[in-house]
């Protein structure tokens, strides 16, 4: 018969004392012992593993290799974004979408520091107090993780508000604010659920030893519901601007480039789906410091990728501008009214390049051009219905505009 009794470090049973003369005897008992139930059994399992020559598993280095390179890329994109936006470098200035991404990056720094602990090791190879500390760290990491994901979503939505002014679509902006509200409500609900998942709260990081009493809600139900809502919000955020983007009067190649810039954000959703398959172990694991490591890795990957995807639109303009200078291409720039220049730091008065064929004066361009986005050096225009009529007067093809509209980012 197998015994599930736990032994204190001071007491060595006969079978353990016999290990010095017969190692196989100890190893044959390996499957009979449940070393995770009580704090004292940790020492027993550790001694058993050493005597039996069991491999010491340590994936802490894997966690660092998977997360820190991505953190470096995220840091680079954030710095690049703020340099491109800075007025000191002739950028358009900072907006709320920039400040929110800075907050998210601050949380990412905290999460990266928390991850660099003892996850990735077997529970019985750690000291009991160290196990409790690691699980407490993981508990805090849940709040940070949710904060990063939600704030990056809000940053992207605030970018949409910058790109699409009220002159383009009032209802579209109202929809954006509604989605921002949904993201905020999701964040609050998740924080509340995680905080009161167990009663008492400290049972979240002490239940592993079997010595503390408490109750927890159905962790799997919380995991599946929260992950589903998060994925739905991701899809809403990234597909929300597609109808507007497809209406841009730019070439098909540029439309594809614009859409791909936003579609890259779907990789965040893929990370969420992969992370979900590891979350099913949450709460019921007998070896939490080992089983929770993949969850931590994919959480870090998802957080870093979220930051990177949020910064991609800001990087597109300066990168393309540098490539254009390298290739020595010549472009025609539209000139803006002084009111636009004072608001965004660019342009002069609008001057049409030609007159209608019947000799009449061309309509005032300022009434028919609406700046919908100024991000770096990029400017995207939306025209009123009179534009098509004016093109017919000018007898010009639909893809050629007399004022030389130029969209640099895309």
Q: What is the pLDDT of residues 331-362, one digit of tens each?
A: 444 444 444 444 434 433 444 444 445 444 44
Which has the higher per-residue pLDDT, 239 or 258? 239
Q: What is the pLDDT of residues 158-175, one digit of tens each?
A: 988 888 777 667 888 899
Q: Say what the pLDDT of residue 147 is.
A: 93
Q: Is residue 329 in some structural domain?
A: no
Q: Say what the pLDDT of residue 123 is.
A: 78
* Other Cβ atoms closer than 10 A to 404: 14
Residues 166 and 302 in one domain: yes
Q: What is the pLDDT of residues 368-404, one digit of tens each?
A: 333 333 333 333 333 333 444 445 455 444 444 444 3
- Catalogue the long-range contacts made by 9-18 (C-beta closer than 8 Å, 24 or more residues apart): 9/40, 9/43, 9/44, 16/44, 16/47, 16/48
Q: What is the pLDDT of residues 264-323, one digit of tens each?
A: 777 777 878 778 777 766 656 777 788 888 888 888 888 898 898 888 877 776 777 777
Residues 265 and 278 in one domain: yes
Residues 243, 231: Cα–Cα separation, whole Å: 20
Which has the higher per-residue pLDDT, 409 or 48? 48
Say how many residues make up the chain: 410
Residues 112, 298: Cα–Cα separation, whole Å: 12
Mean pLDDT of the chain: 71
State the greatest distance between any 2 C-alpha atoms of the chain, in Å, as a whole number: 109
Residue by residue, DSSP assigns 357-390 as: TTSPPPPPHHHHEEEEEEETTEEEEEE-THHHHH
Q: Is residue 377 in some structural domain?
A: yes
Q: Are 127 and 100 contacting, i.e. CB atoms less than 8 angstroms apart?
A: no
Q: Say what the pLDDT of residue 170 is.
A: 80
Residues 50 and 69 in one domain: no
* Residue numbers of the domain that contains 345: 338-394
Which has the higher per-residue pLDDT, 292 or 5? 292
Residues 123 and 266 in one domain: yes
Residues 406, 112: Cα–Cα separation, whole Å: 41
Q: Please state the domain count of the chain.
A: 3
Residues 90, 69: Cα–Cα separation, whole Å: 30
Q: Is residue 408 in some structural domain?
A: no
Q: Are 142 and 296 contacting, i.e. CB atoms less than 8 angstroms apart?
A: no
Highest mean pLDDT: which of 13-17, 45-49, 149-153? 149-153
Q: What is the CATH number of the domain that holds 194?
A: 1.20.1070
Q: Which residues pair with 375 in a beta bridge?
A: 378
Question: Whole-model pTM?
Answer: 0.69
Q: What is the pLDDT of residues 211-251, one digit of tens each?
A: 788 888 877 788 888 888 988 998 888 888 877 777 766 66
Residues 256 and 343 in one domain: no
Residues 296 and 356 in one domain: no
Q: Is residue 330 in some structural domain?
A: no
Percent of the chain surpassing pLDDT 70: 59
Confidence band for 176, pLDDT divided at 50, 70 and 90: very high
Residues 314 and 372 in one domain: no
């Amino acid at each position: 018969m197998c015994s599930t009794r736990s032994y204190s470090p001071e007491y060595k049973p006969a079978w353990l004392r016999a290990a010095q003369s017969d190692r196989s005897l100890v190893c044959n008992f390996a499957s009979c012992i449940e070393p995770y139930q009580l704090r004292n059994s940790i020492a027993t399992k550790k001694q058993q593993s050493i005597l039996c020559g069991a491999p010491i598993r340590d994936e802490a280095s894997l966690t660092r290799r998977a997360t820190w390179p991505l953190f470096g890329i995220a840091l680079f994109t954030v710095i690049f974004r703020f340099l491109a936006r800075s007025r000191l470098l002739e950028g358009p200035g900072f907006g709320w979408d920039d400040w929110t991404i800075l907050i998210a990056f601050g949380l990412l720094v905290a999460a990266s520091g928390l991850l660099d602990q003892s996850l990735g090791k077997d529970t019985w190879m750690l000291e009991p107090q160290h196990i409790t500390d690691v699980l407490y760290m993981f508990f805090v990491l849940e709040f940070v993780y949710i904060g990063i994901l939600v704030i990056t979503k809000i940053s992207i939505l605030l970018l949409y508000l910058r790109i699409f002014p009220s002159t383009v679509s009032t209802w579209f902006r109202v929809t954006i604010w509604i989605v921002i509200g949904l993201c905020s409500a999701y964040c609050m609900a998740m924080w509340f659920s995680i905080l009161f998942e167990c009663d008492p709260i400290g049972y979240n990081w002490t239940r592993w030893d079997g010595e503390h009493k408490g109750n927890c809600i159905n962790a799997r139900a919380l995991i599946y519901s929260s992950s589903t809502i998060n994925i739905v919000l991701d899809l809403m955020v990234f597909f929300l601007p597609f109808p507007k983007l497809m209406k841009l009067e730019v070439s098909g190649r540029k439309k594809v480039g614009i859409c791909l810039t936003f579609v890259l954000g779907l990789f965040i959703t893929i990370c969420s789906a992969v992370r979900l398959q590891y979350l099913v172990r949450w709460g019921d694991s007998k070896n939490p410091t080992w089983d929770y490591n993949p969850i931590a890795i994919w959480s870090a990957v998802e957080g870093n990728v979220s930051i990177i995807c949020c910064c991609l639109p800001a990087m597109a303009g300066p990168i393309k501008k540098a490539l254009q200078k390298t290739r020595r291409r010549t472009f025609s720039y539209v000139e803006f009214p002084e009111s636009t220049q004072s608001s965004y730091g660019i342009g002069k008065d609008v001057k049409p390049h030609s007159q209608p064929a019947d000799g009449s004066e061309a309509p005032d361009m300022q009434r028919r051009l609406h700046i919908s986005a100024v991000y770096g050096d990029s400017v995207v225009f939306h025209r009123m219905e009179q534009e098509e009529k004016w093109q017919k007067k000018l007898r010009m093809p639909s893809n050629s505009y007399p004022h030389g509209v130029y969209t640099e980012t895309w």
